[in-house]
Amino acid sequence: MPIIITGVLLLIFGILAIFSVSIHDSFALGLRGIAQWRWEGEPSNYFYFFRQLRNIWVGLVMAFLVYLIPIKFFQNNRNIIIIFVILLLFQLLVFIPWIGIVLNGARWWISIPWLTTLQPAEFFKIGYILFLASWLIRKYKTTNTRQFFTNFLIVNTAIFFLFLFIPDLWTVLVMGLTGLAMCWYAGAKFKYIVLITIGWVLAAVGGALIASTISPKFTYITNRFTYFIRPDIDPQKRGIWRQNEQALIAIWWGWFLWQWYGKWLQKFGFIPEAQWDFIFSAFAEEIGFVGNMLLLGLYFYLCRYVLTHLPLVRDEYSRLMAVWLISLIVMQMFVNIGVNLKLLPNTWITLPFISYGWSAIMVNMIQIVLLYKILKQK
């Protein structure tokens, strides 16, 4: 039950954050809708808040359905699941105009008419978990061989290029790092982990540079690295760097001049789209150092609880799944907060359980339910 309770507390934290930081963007969205004759009634300050409540409700239903499915079902049908999520990604590659949504040069979502939008990359993470855990079990005796890591690099490089054409470089980098965590837990030697990490980073940087020279749609990747390494090229701070700069201002004011929940101004357009990947900094301005430490404490407690109880789980496949699930949550948390603190370039990686989003919040709730089911197998 501590896993479920921690997940509920993180969701409550996220609801409070969305309620406060999305006021400006909700109202601005309503005004744009009225101007374009796409909005009925008065603009609302709480559009994203009520949408997030709906997202959580749908996520609860999906998580309950996943809870009813035995772990063995996922293991036995892993190939069907991975093929299904790959087909979802191919919908983005084909980009049928009436279902694809482009944001900042990337094909992020599939629009389902009269229902909602899906982000296939989020569901691909679950399919990748099931596939990689089963693959590691089958290759357990050859984990510390050159052939194993060569095959691992080939498989993940193929996935990398699939995401590169979307393009969504950041998601595949997070998946690669959490895949290495699974290999380490499966008994891989440290030298192989280091070598595959170096190869993975070189492939990512090289692929991004080559892709940006081939097609202009890939330049947003190199632009973010360029602005991160050389902020002096944007002295007015009106481009990509502006969001990072405003996020730092919000965190500084929040930590040193805490003004309680619902106050301060950075959420009013200074941090663009604060309810997504920069929700940590926008909310930090209001909850201060104590609130941020409470949020980080929930993440670290969840991680510690899972890792300390994993040795009691009998099934090796379930243990590898749990390592991936908790690694993915923690890795996304570190990357998101690193971006907010200007330690990493802008990645569009959301903060688990906190950021606004239908697909992301659903996958987070499925992760909690799967962790709960796995740790029950003592």
Which comes out higher in pLDDT, residue 82 or 349? 349
CB atoms within 10 A of CB 213: 11
pLDDT of residue 113: 53
Residue 233 binned pLDDT confidence (cut-offs 50, 70, 90): low
**pLDDT tens per residue across span 333-344:** 988 888 888 887
Is the pLDDT reported for residue 297 higher than 90?
yes
pLDDT for the residue numbered 107? 54
Per-residue model confidence (pLDDT) at position 34: 73
Q: Tell me the DSSP string of 319-366.
A: HHHHHHHHHHHHHHHHHHHHHHTTSS----PPPTTTS--HHHHHHHHH
pLDDT digits (tens, 9 = 90+) for 164-207: 666 666 777 777 777 777 777 777 777 777 777 777 677 667 76
* CA end-to-end span of the chain: 14
pLDDT > 70: percent of the chain: 73
User: Is the pTM value of this prediction over 0.85?
Assistant: no
Computed over every residue of the chain, the mean pLDDT equals 77
287 has pLDDT over 70? yes
Kindly report, residue by residue over 44-101, the tens digit of the pLDDT. Answer: 788 888 888 988 998 899 899 989 988 888 878 777 777 777 776 665 555 554 455 5
pLDDT score of 299 more than 90: yes
Taking only the tens place, the pLDDT of each residue in 98-125 is: 455 555 555 555 655 555 566 777 777 8
Q: If you average pLDDT over each of 37-41, 140-144, 227-231, 308-312, which comes out highest? A: 308-312
pLDDT score for 302: 93
For residues 199 and 149, give the distance between their C-alpha atoms in angstroms, rounded to a whole number.
11
Domain ranges of the chain: 2-375
What 8-state DSSP symbol labels residue 111? E
CA dihedral 229, 231, 232, 234 (to 10 degrees): 130
Q: What is the pLDDT of residue 185?
A: 78
Residue 230 pLDDT more than 70? no
What band does 324 get if pLDDT is binned at 50, 70 and 90? confident
Distances (CA, A) of 88 to 99, 103, 120: 11, 18, 6
Which pLDDT score is estimated for 11?
92
Res. 313 pLDDT band, cuts 50 70 90: confident
Q: What is the pLDDT of residue 184?
A: 78
**pLDDT for 281 beyond 70:** yes
Q: What's the 3-state SS for 68-109? A: HCCHHHHHHCHHHHHHHHHHHHHHHHHCCCCCEEEECCEEEE
Query: Residue 133 pLDDT more than 90?
Result: no
Percent of the chain whose pLDDT exceeds 90: 8
Tell me the H-state helices in the chain: 2-21, 23-35, 47-68, 71-76, 78-94, 120-138, 146-164, 169-185, 190-214, 219-229, 240-256, 279-309, 316-340, 358-375
Split at pLDDT 50, 70, 90, the class of 301 is very high
The predicted pLDDT at position 6 comes to: 92
Give the span between the Cα atoms of 117 and 114, in whole angstroms. Answer: 10
Which pLDDT does position 221 carry in this prediction?
64
pLDDT given for residue 210 in this prediction: 66
In terms of Cα–Cα distance, which of 108, 18, 23, 112 is closest to 56? 18
